[in-house]
């Protein structure tokens, strides 16, 4: 597993078995629906290699008729212990602790559905990922969503939108306060394609791929991909594996353009159905 950064983006992180914060039409007969979802995972090691990391994600959505409001958030945090660089040749050298992962995001999204398989949405996102160079990223965006296929075991959808972001960058990973230098606005169109496939009675596969080309920065092209494999163990409880990929054609500072992350997680999902139509 290789880990230097993560995007959902957000944009990028799922908070349940769904690969993207989409919302299909409510089942016939329901007028509203509330859904609560959480995801928890982590690693810990001791002995020759001392480190730990944890990731937590949550989502709350409420839909009433053709309107839906959704909040989602995530936190990734990791620490490791290693010898100081100038004493690395000494087996008795004093060890020091450092962050290996520091990421969070929070997003609020409003959807208005029409003509059964269509929706328009407004959203706002706050994001931080110091490993990939983002001290902070504030991003409003809007768009249109279309469900392309929706059958019992398969669903495909597309989002087309426009996103602007105010970014505060961490240009030099070795610097401290003086490494936080550049502030910039980045904006441009984005397209997201997604599929949700029910492999059998307990196993689901969700994939979403998002691409954005900045209008004001010719070389700024970004791709985000999320793949979720979920095994439903019992009612409201699942075990899953998430694989996330992020590509920045114009990486920040001297960082690599490609970041990946593999997570093994436990998921809790609870849905409250509304009153039936008369």
Q: Residue 179 in 3-state DSSP? A: helix
Torsion of Cα atoms, 232 then 68 then 207 then 249, to 10°: -140
Residue 25 belongs to a domain: no
Is residue 58 a part of any domain in this protein? yes
Count of CB atoms situated within 10 Å of the CB of 232 = 18
Q: Is residue 5 part of a domain?
A: no
CATH of the domain at 142: 2.40.160.40
Enter the pTM of the model.
0.76
Which of the 8 DSSP states describes residue 178?
G
Q: Identify the CA nearest to 14 among candidates 101, 74, 103.
A: 74
The per-residue pLDDT string of the chain (278 residues; one tens digit each, 9 = 90 and over) reads 333 333 333 333 333 333 344 444 444 545 588 999 888 877 776 666 667 778 888 999 999 989 999 999 988 877 777 665 555 555 555 666 656 667 888 999 999 999 889 999 999 999 888 778 888 899 999 999 999 999 989 999 999 999 999 998 877 655 544 445 688 999 999 999 999 999 998 999 999 999 999 999 999 999 999 999 999 998 889 998 888 898 999 988 778 899 888 878 888 888 887 655 55
**Domain presence at residue 23:** no
Contact 234, 245 (CB under 8 A): no
Residue 232 placed within a domain: yes
Q: Is residue 95 in a domain?
A: yes
Is 18 inside any structural domain?
Answer: no
Residue 214 within a domain: yes
Domain count, the chain: 1
Domain that holds residue 205: 32-273
Q: How many CA atoms lie within 13 A of 23 on its CB side?
A: 29
């Amino acid at each position: 597993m290789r880990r230097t950064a993560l995007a959902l983006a957000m944009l990028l992180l799922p908070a349940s078995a769904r690969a993207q914060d989409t919302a299909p039409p409510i089942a016939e007969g329901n007028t509203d629906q509330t859904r609560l979802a959480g995801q928890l995972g982590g690693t810990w090691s001791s002995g020759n290699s001392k480190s730990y990391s944890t990731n937590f994600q949550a989502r709350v959505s409420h839909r009433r008729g053709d309107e839906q409001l959704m909040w989602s958030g995530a936190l990734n945090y990791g620490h490791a212990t290693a010898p100081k660089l100038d004493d690395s040749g000494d087996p008795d050298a004093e060890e020091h602790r450092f962050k290996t992962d520091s990421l969070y995001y929070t997003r609020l999204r409003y959807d208005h559905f029409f003509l059964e398989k269509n929706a328009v949405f407004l959203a706002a996102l706050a994001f931080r990922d110091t490993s990939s160079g983002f001290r902070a990223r504030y991003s409003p965006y809007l768009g249109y969503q279309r469900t392309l296929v929706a059958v019992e075991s398969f669903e495909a959808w597309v989002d087309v939108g426009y996103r602007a972001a105010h970014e505060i960058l961490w240009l030099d990973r070795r610097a401290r306060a003086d490494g936080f230098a550049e502030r910039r606005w980045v904006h441009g169109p984005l397209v997201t394609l997604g599929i949700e496939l029910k492999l059998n009675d307990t196993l689901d596969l969700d994939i979403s791929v998002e691409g954005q080309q900045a209008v004001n920065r010719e070389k700024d092209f970004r791709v985000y991909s999320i793949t979720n494999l979920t095994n439903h163990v019992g009612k409201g409880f699942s075990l899953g594996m998430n694989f996330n990929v992020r590509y920045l054609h114009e990486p920040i500072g001297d960082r690599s353009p490609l970041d990946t992350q593999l997570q093994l997680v436990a998921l809790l999902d609870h849905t409250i159905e509304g009153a039936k139509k008369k």
